[in-house]
Every structure is written in structure tokens, then in C-alpha cells.
Amino acid sequence: MNSRMTKPRVLVTGAGGFIGGHLVSSLRETAASVRAVDIKPFDSWYQRFDDVENLELDLRLRDPCMTAARGIDEVYQLACDMGGMGFIENNKALCMLSVLINTHMLEATVHHGGSKFFYASSACVYNADKQRGYDVTPLRESDAYPAMPEDGYGWEKLFSERMCRHFAEDFGLTARVARFHNVYGPHGTWDGGREKAPAAICRKVVAAVADADHRIEIWGDGKQGRSFTYIDDCVEGIRRLMDSDLSEPINLGSSETVTINDLVDLVEDVAGVRLERSYKLDAPKGVDGRSSDNTMILDRLGWAPATPLRVGIERTYHWIEEQFAARASGGRYVE
């Protein structure tokens, strides 16, 4: 199946998570059917839709992957045991075990005759030597080799990219791979240790305002350079990539580069406060500088993420503010 004339039956794995939840929300508008799978209990998924098939499965195991892929045309593989720097620097073995999910999902897709496979890779595949120093040179797709990715998480992502390539070559699977760069937005992890910098900084500012304690702790010296991609751009990029003929891994990230200090400035502006900063220099802080070179995506897809950071941060800050208030009053708010 899966011609552009016929609507595909799609599977989203990791659907209870941040990006997976947004992707289900988008695909249910256009797909013939959507199956959403996550290991988490359904009531803790970040977004829940009653008009799709929702399954709780552990996709590290082969049989549940077979169940998930049965009768499916297109697979969007986003399930992964991951988090921000604080998580991936301290859980390298766990991060590498996601190779089980990728391996079994690729096998199950081919076994059931699925025709297209999307894989969520990461900017963490890029060679660490290209990310030294605060002078950020945007990363081109070719900068992943010679391989020296982020230890643990990045190696697993690079290996799984490679597996997608060989499943395409050997079994005729159409595989599409996007290297996400720091995706942020509402309905993501904002506390608990797996959150990433934008959500962590928004939460710290919300807490400082709520507690009238006008101080903030920043991981590293705040001079690290980054680009942050708003969730709507991420979902649109995935969908454009799946409709394209682009078989190589591609950057899916914003090219708007800021330092962590700039990001804190922006969140403070949105909150209307100024906080006293302290820097935790021994905290996990990742590479010195990282941003997305969007030459290839512009050239091949005629499009690139364009949501200004200020716009995305305003939406994210207000969503986290609501979650924080709901939790403080004993509830769980996710709408």
C-alpha cells in the first residue's frame, strides 16, 4: 500500500512521550488509522487520544514489536529511554539498550511488509571534536563522520541510523532518518531529571517567581551555544521528510543559535523577572557549542524550522507555569 493516493495505516512508538504525542495528534488528521504504543501506563501518557488505538507494550522485546507492526504501512520509531544531559551522561548503558527497540522494530516492520520507517536520531551523533569551543559552527550532516559521537546515547543513535541504512539496502525498506536538535514545547518532560534545558530553565524561573526566591542555578557557565527547535517545526519536518525521497540522515533543527545565558534572559523576559544567577560548573552541560546547518534540508525539502525561539518559549513557559500551579494545588494538568 502506501501510495500517495491511499492513506497509510501508521504506527507511532513512544507515543506517550513528548514528540510522539504531538505526532499522533498530527497523523490522526490524515492517516487511515493510527496505532500508538508506549511502555508507560496509558494514564501517564503526555497526550491521549480516544480515536486511535492505544497499546502499552515494552518494545525492547521482539514479540511486542511484532504485535505493534502487524497490519501497519508506516512506522514512526520514537520510543527511546532518554532524557536531557543530566540523564544521558549518567545512564549510558540504559541509553544504549534502546538498540533493542530499534533492532526489533526494524525486524518487525520488514516481517510484516511495512514499507516506510521513520527513525528519530539526534544531533548527539555528531563528532565531539566539531563541537569544541564556544564559537559555534553549525553542524553539517557529513560532520557525523569520522565517528566520535556523544558517549552512550549518541553511539546508539549512530549505530541505529546505520541499521536503518542497511535494512533499506538489503530489504528494500524505505527508511527516513532525522537528526533532531533540542526539541522543546508544551506536553514535554519538565521535571523529574529527564527534562532538557528549555523546560528545566522555564521550570526554575516559574519556581523562583512562585517562591519569591529570585535566584536561579544554571548548569555549566551559561556560555554553551545551542539551537532549540519548536515542536510544531519538528512534527512538520518529520512529515515532510516522510513524503520526500531523501534517504540520507538529515538535520531537523533550528539554526537560531543562542547561549544558555541568552535562553535564561529570554525566559526571564517572558516571566517579567530578573534572577540572580549561580553557575554549577560540575553539572552535566554537554558540548560547548552545537547548532544545525540547514543547507541540506532547505535544498532538498525547500523548508526548514522557522519558529522564532521567543514565540516557542512563550508558549512553553506558560504551559509549564500551568502545570506547576496544578501540581502545587494537588492536581495533574496536561491540556
Least distance CB 143 / ligand NAD (angstroms): 16
Q: How distant, in Å, are the alpha carbons of 122, 249, 286, 296 from that of 150?
A: 10, 17, 9, 23
User: Number of helices (H) and strands (E), helices first, in the chain?
Assistant: 11, 13
Among 10, 31, 69, 82, binds ligand NAD (CB under 6 A): 82
Least distance CB 305 / ligand NAD (angstroms)? 12
Question: Bridge-partner residues for 110, per DSSP?
Answer: none
Of 185 and 275, which has the nearer Cβ to ligand NAD?
A: 185
Task: Classify strands 215-219 and 276-280 as parallel, antiparallel or unpaired.
Answer: parallel
> Cβ(152)–Cβ(92) under 8 Å?
yes
101 binds ligand NAD (CB under 6 A): yes
Q: What are phi and psi of 34, to 5 degrees?
A: -125, 130
Query: Does position 242 bind ligand NAD by CB under 6 A?
Result: no
Q: Does 105 bind ligand NAD (CB under 6 A)?
A: no
Under rule CB under 6 A, residue 18 binds ligand NAD: yes
Contact positions with ligand NAD (CB under 6 A) in 122-151: 122
Nearest distance in Å: CB 158, ligand NAD: 12
Site stretch for ligand NAD (CB under 6 A), options 36-44, 140-148, 167-175, 294-302 = 36-44
Residues binding ligand NAD: number (CB under 6 A): 25
* Smallest distance, ligand NAD to C-beta of residue 291, A: 14
- Report in angstroms the alpha-carbon separations of 173 from 214, 235, 323: 54, 22, 41
152 in contact with ligand NAD (CB under 6 A): no
Q: Which of 131, 125, 123 is nearest to 163 (CA)?
A: 125
User: What is the nearest approach in angstroms of ligand NAD to the Cβ of residue 188?
Assistant: 6
Member of 25, 49, 54, 58 binding ligand NAD (CB under 6 A): 58
Q: How far is the CB of 121 from ligand NAD (least distance, A)?
A: 7
- Radius of gyration of the chain from its Cα atoms, rounded to whole angstroms: 19
As given in the structure block, the three cell numbers for residue 186 are 508544551
Q: Which is nearer to ligand NAD, 78 or 263 (CB)?
A: 78
**Given candidates 24, 38, 131, 309, which one binds ligand NAD under the rule CB under 6 A?**
38
Contacts of residue 236, Cβ cutoff 8 Å, sequence gap at least 6: 303
> Which of the ranges 10-18, 134-142, 274-282, 292-300 carries the binding residues for ligand NAD, by CB under 6 A?
10-18
Cell of 328: 502545587
The 3-class SS string of 222-275 reads CCCEEECEEHHHHHHHHHHHHCCCCCCCEEECCCCEEEHHHHHHHHHHHHCCCC
Does 182 engage in binding with ligand NAD (CB under 6 A)?
Answer: yes
Residue nearest ligand NAD, Cβ-based? 17
According to the binding rule CB under 6 A, does residue 120 interact with ligand NAD?
Answer: yes
Q: Which residue is associated with the grid cell 547548532?
A: 291
Q: Mind telling me the catalytic residues?
A: 153
Cell reading at 287: 558540548
Does residue 107 touch ligand NAD according to CB under 6 A? no
Residues forming the site for ligand NAD (CB under 6 A) = 14, 16-20, 38-40, 58-60, 78-82, 101, 120, 122, 180, 182-183, 189, 196
